[in-house]
Structure formats: C-alpha cells, structure tokens
C-alpha cells in the first residue's frame, strides 16, 4: 500500500466563475489518477466586488471594465475548456447571478457541517453551470442544502444571521491580503497556479514533479 502523503491544495473560487467550475473538473481528473488522498480546502472570492454597492446588492450599471468583446472571448475560452474536459454546460457566461448568499451558506457549512459541505459546495456549481439555476435564490439554496444533508433550516438561519456576512467579508479580505486577484487560484505550499489549468499542471503544482 502506498504511503499516504500530506498533499493539500487551497482553491480560491467564486461560484459565478465558469473557469472555477472547470478548474474543479480538472482537479477531479487529477485526483482520479492519484493513489494518495488529497486535502482540498475552498476559500471564497467575490468576483462581483467592483459592482457591489454599500447595501451589498450588485449594481449592473457600474462599469467593471469588461466590455462585450471581453465576454465574447471569455465565452469562447469556456466553451473550449468545456470541450477539452468533456463537460456539458447549460451556459457559458452568466452575468446576472449573485453568489454572495451561496458563499455565505457554504462558508458556514464548511465550519459547522464539514461532512455535508463538499456535496453542497459542488452542487452549487452544478446547479448554475450544468442546470442553469439561479443560485442567488434562497429556495434553490435550500433545495441544494437538503440534498447535501445539511440540517433543515440551515440556509434560512445562516442568511438571517449577519455574523455569516461578517465571516464571509473577512474571508474576502483574507483573499485580498493574500494577493489573490483572480479565480480560480490553486495554492500548494509556496506555489500557485491561476486559471482552469489542466490536470498535469495541477500535478506539478501539488507534487512538485
């Protein structure tokens, strides 16, 4: 039997980022080829921060520096990577969905119910990118939470607790102070890789090969 290693990777990601979804798909393929377990820790990131007003809502009239040409190029890149990883997507770009509440629930779940966190975390990605559901809606989050085995009322309790927003904001600040400027970002030890990089690059990052 192979000796277990302490390999671990920290993933900064936002659910509304299609490249984050595809980055996890790449990570899954890398993990499938490993003999040893891999610890994967998610850390939230607010991709919509430049458009978020003082009330926490997204103001779509705020210029985020991304024009139609940018989104068309991003769409093409997402489609290319989806084909590379053989993933069927319901959509390639989604600009009108806010992941803030989904991240509040996931961040709280990771601490309070780690056994159910991974299923919920991945189901949020799947709901948005595979099924085209609006993960900014509380009823969608409640459905996903129930399927993941989170306690009844967990979503409502989390979203009604302002402390969960404070915890998420602290995590966003930590990401900023760490120097994270885009997602997905994978960190292993002192090394990092940004983007939906292929499994072989994740192998080099994590294993140093």
**Tens digits of per-residue pLDDT, 9-65?**
999 999 999 999 999 999 999 999 999 999 999 999 999 998 888 888 888 888 888
Q: What is the pTM of this model?
A: 0.94
Q: Is 41 helix (H, G, I), strand (E, B) or coil?
A: strand
HEC secondary structure over 95-142 = CCCCCHHHHHHHHHHHHHCHHHHHHHHHHHHHHHHCCCCCCCCHHHHH
Domains and CATH numbers, the chain: 8-207 (3.40.30.10)
**Tens digits of per-residue pLDDT, 106-128?**
999 999 999 999 999 999 999 99
pLDDT surpasses 70 at 2: no
Tell how far CA 153 is from the center of its chain. Answer: 23
> How distant, in Å, are the alpha carbons of 105, 150, 164, 176 from that of 157?
9, 12, 10, 28
Q: Peptide bond before 184: cis, by omega within 30 degrees of 0?
A: yes
| Residue 1 pLDDT level (bands cut at 50, 70, 90) | very low
Alpha-carbon gap, residue 120 to 97, rounded angstroms: 18
Please report the sign of the dihedral spanned by the C-alpha atoms of residue 137, residue 175, residue 125, residue 59. Answer: positive
Tokens 């671990």 label which residue?
8
């Amino acid at each position: 039997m192979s000796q277990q290693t302490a390999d671990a990777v920290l993933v900064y990601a936002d659910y509304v980022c299609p490249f984050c979804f595809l980055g996890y798909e790449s990570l899954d393929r890398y993990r499938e080829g490993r003999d040893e377990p891999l610890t994967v820790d998610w850390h939230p990131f607010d991709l919509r921060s430049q458009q978020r007003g003082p009330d926490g809502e997204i103001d779509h009239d705020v210029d985020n520096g991304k024009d139609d040409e940018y989104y068309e190029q991003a769409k093409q890149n997402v489609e290319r990577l989806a084909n590379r990883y053989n993933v069927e997507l319901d959509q390639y770009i989604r600009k009108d969905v806010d992941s803030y509440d989904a991240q509040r629930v996931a961040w709280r779940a990771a601490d309070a119910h780690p056994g159910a966190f991974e299923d919920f975390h991945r189901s949020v990605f799947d709901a948005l990118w595979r099924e085209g559901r609006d993960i900014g809606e509380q009823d969608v989050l409640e459905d996903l939470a129930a399927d993941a085995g989170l306690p009844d009322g967990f979503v409502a309790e989390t979203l009604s607790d302002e402390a969960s927003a404070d915890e998420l904001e602290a995590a966003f600040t930590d990401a900023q102070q760490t120097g994270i400027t885009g997602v997905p970002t994978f960190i292993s030890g002192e090394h990092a890789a940004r983007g939906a990089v292929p499994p072989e690059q994740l192998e080099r990052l994590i294993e140093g090969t």
